[in-house]
Structure 1
Amino acid sequence: MRYQVMTAALAVTTALQFAGPAAATDLEVTHWWTSGGEAAAVAEFAKAFDATGNHWVDGAIAGSGGTARPIMISRITGGDPMGATQFNHGRQAEELVQAGLMRDLTDLATRDKWTEIVQPKSLLDGCTLDGKIYCVPVNIHSWQWLWLSNAAFEKAGVPVPKNWNEYVAAAPALEKAGIIPLAVGGQPWQSSGAFDVLLTAVGGTDTFLKVYRDKDAEFAAGPEVAKVFKAADDARKMAKNTNVQDWNQATNLVIAGKAGGQIMGDWAQG
């Protein structure tokens, strides 16, 4: 099953202007792309940057964005900024921009015609504040996926589910076969992300928008959202024996057939 409704893009926000080959620069770039596939992707960025005659100094921070962002922000506000850093697309760096701590990239974006390159063009909106561009989108992901292990369900003797209710109904058989029904790592962002996916998958797009966009408290207290909390409670029970921390460790449980499934973004495919 896959739930594709909302997308999130990652962006690199630069704190320094890149120097040209005539004045080669060691540029530290901080990020939290540390899993195998992510590290390989970062290596391609580094390779392309090094080809300009400059030198990419990798500043990988193990863990998640929740771990890395406070470190990044502390360095920037403390007067020890890196050359460039990863943030999630949107307003995570807005206060830094307002404080004058992020470099204005508008001239560079205009010169290199970013509006013709970045697709969809709306991705640049999250990098734009008061008409000026402060970051460059480098990839785009969707959270709304439920990855399932065919081998796990075959071992449990139950069909691969086609919807959430069938998945919940299959959980006892998975547990009886010694399989974790749902793999969820111990980092809080994994649980909150899974909840948002269930909010859309179980409640529907309108429910998601009424809660997050409209901030409709009366609707949030109603039966549609109650169904989502019931699904989240089922997910919590199904994931209780996961006992891993990182998202890629949970993904490996699914790959190995030790877990029935995982709610995780499309980055889980490597």
Structure 2
Amino acid sequence: MKMNKTLLTLSLAAATLPSLSSAGEVEVLHWWTSGGEAKSVQELKAMLEEQGHSWKDFAVAGGGGESAMTVLKTRAVSGNPPSAAQIKGHDIQEWGGLGFLTNLDDVAQSGGWDASVPSMVTDVMKFNGEYVAVPVNVHRVNWLWANPEVLKKAGVEVPKTLDDFFAAAEKIKAAGFIPLAHGGQPWQDATVFEAIALDVLGSDDYRKAFVDLDMDTLSGDKMVEVFTKFQKVHDYIDANSPGRDWNVATSMVINGEAAMQIMGDWAKGEFTAAGKVPGKDYICAPAPGTDGQFTHNVDSFAFFEIKDETNVAAQKALAATILDKKFQEVFNLNKGSIPVRTDMDMSAFDQCALDSMASFKATAKTGDLVPSMAHGMSTTSYAQGAIYDVVTNFFNDPKADPKEAAQKLAKAVKAAI
């Protein structure tokens, strides 16, 4: 990694104490352009400006950030990168390997990041053992969202296992409701698939499959069972599923058209926006069979090497502020996620978030905290794309053979790595 010696010797005090001599500017690339996310960005901007620095917004609209990444590549290659950019998972390693990222170890040490953030998360933020990125939040992906009124009308309880789910789904269907609200898009198919895989494989074999990309696990008997159960789920979604956005599927649960949805905790923002209260108007529960496990999706900012010393001071102040407890609370209350720090006062958060934080802390100790394949945390974008293709093609082919699918999965991943 290229390193600017001046950057490494600047103290955190110089970065965080506002003064005319150290006032710098940060340019921040992100795609949080609507709703609670935009409010959170404004809070981060205000907190930075309180320290005497200025914020140059570099917002590029577009769901998963594909457009933003295209713009970032152009800027970085031309030698004019922003101070920080919204990058996560293995993409951080790729940017680090290209020599574009800068060392944040002094900020991390002063802020006690290693002590307040689980190593499962901090490991992703480091390149060659050095901090180059800062985590913003933790999304739990393996959630089941349910409408209690629909469950009551169908005479069923919230399913705790996949067998419970299939039994409940039959009754819900018979009562005239859609058992599972689903959007037929590759990433949504993968979200349901990985929840089933987490249950069937268990945490260790889930990691072997989607982190280690172990061919025997990807093609083995347990993976055949994953595909078999995944195929059965298709019986309980509606014919209008293809192409549906995730938030439209969430609204089906909110409106009582569908009973359940398997989706990350960003879905909670939709319930909140609709004025719904957890425990009363909707239920949040672990995806069937995954109680005691936690699939994580961590948003983060990677920090680029820049030359201007005053801007470097502002850059370090930004890094420190992202993990500031005040910002962690405001951001995550708006986003539906939980703070990435485990030493937070959670009194302002709802029951779903409290359950999520308790599980996050517990699974970090038991080895059941695993990175999401569907959301780019467990492997490269190339391997993820190969998995998406196999999973979606299988899900949309009623005659697909689970054993063949497992073989195809292993071959596709092998070709991608």
Q: TM-score normalised by the shorter chain: which range applies?
A: 0.7 to 0.9
Distance of aligned partners of 1:34 and 1:249 in 2 relative to their CA distance in 1, 3 Å threshold: farther
Deviations 1:46-97 (A, max 9, x none): 3322322323525152312456544544543355533311122x43122222
Q: Percent identity?
A: 36
Question: Is the contact made by 1:30 and 1:61 (CA closer than 8 Å) also made in structure 2?
Answer: no
Q: Distance in 2 between matches of 1:210 and 1:38?
A: 34
Distance of aligned partners of 1:264 and 1:43 in 2 relative to their CA distance in 1, 3 Å threshold: farther
- Whichever structure has more helix as a proportion of its residues is 2
- Structure 2 match to 1:92: 91
Which runs of no fewer than 5 residues in structure 2 stay unpaired?
Answer: 1-6, 8-14, 269-335, 337-417
Distance of aligned partners of 1:174 and 1:58 in 2 relative to their CA distance in 1, 3 Å threshold: farther
Query: Which residue identity lines up with residue 264 of structure 1 in the other structure?
Result: M
- Structure 2 match to 1:150: 148
Which runs of no fewer than 5 residues in structure 1 stay unpaired?
Answer: 1-16
Distance of aligned partners of 1:267 and 1:190 in 2 relative to their CA distance in 1, 3 Å threshold: same
Question: Is the contact made by 1:207 and 1:225 (CA closer than 8 Å) also made in structure 2?
Answer: no
Q: Distance in 1 between matches of 2:233 and 2:208?
A: 23
Question: Is the contact made by 2:92 and 2:125 (CA closer than 8 Å) also made in structure 1?
Answer: no
Distance of aligned partners of 1:72 and 1:174 in 2 relative to their CA distance in 1, 3 Å threshold: farther
Distance of aligned partners of 1:96 and 1:210 in 2 relative to their CA distance in 1, 3 Å threshold: closer
Distance of aligned partners of 1:236 and 1:35 in 2 relative to their CA distance in 1, 3 Å threshold: farther
Task: Report SS of the residue matched to 1:226.
Answer: helix
Task: Report SS of the residue matched to 1:257.
Answer: coil
Q: Distance in 1 between matches of 2:35 and 2:176?
A: 28
Deviations 1:101-150 (A, max 9, x none): 2222233334444334x322453222222232211122122222122221
Q: Distance in 1 between matches of 2:185 and 2:235?
A: 17
Higher relative CO (Cα under 8 Å, sequence separation at least 6) belongs to 2
Alpha-carbon offset, residue 182 of structure 1: 1.7
- Report the TM-score when normalising by structure 2: 0.52
Deviations 1:160-190 (A, max 9, x none): 3332222223334434555332223344322
Distance of aligned partners of 1:256 and 1:29 in 2 relative to their CA distance in 1, 3 Å threshold: farther
Question: Is the contact made by 1:179 and 1:259 (CA closer than 8 Å) also made in structure 2?
Answer: yes
Distance of aligned partners of 1:60 and 1:128 in 2 relative to their CA distance in 1, 3 Å threshold: same
- Report the TM-score when normalising by structure 1: 0.76
Alpha-carbon offset, residue 260 of structure 1: 1.7
Question: Is the contact made by 2:103 and 2:130 (CA closer than 8 Å) also made in structure 1?
Answer: yes
Distance of aligned partners of 1:174 and 1:25 in 2 relative to their CA distance in 1, 3 Å threshold: farther
Query: Which residue identity lines up with residue 144 of structure 1 in the other structure?
Result: N
- Whichever structure has more strand as a proportion of its residues is 1
Task: Report SS of the residue matched to 2:90.
Answer: coil
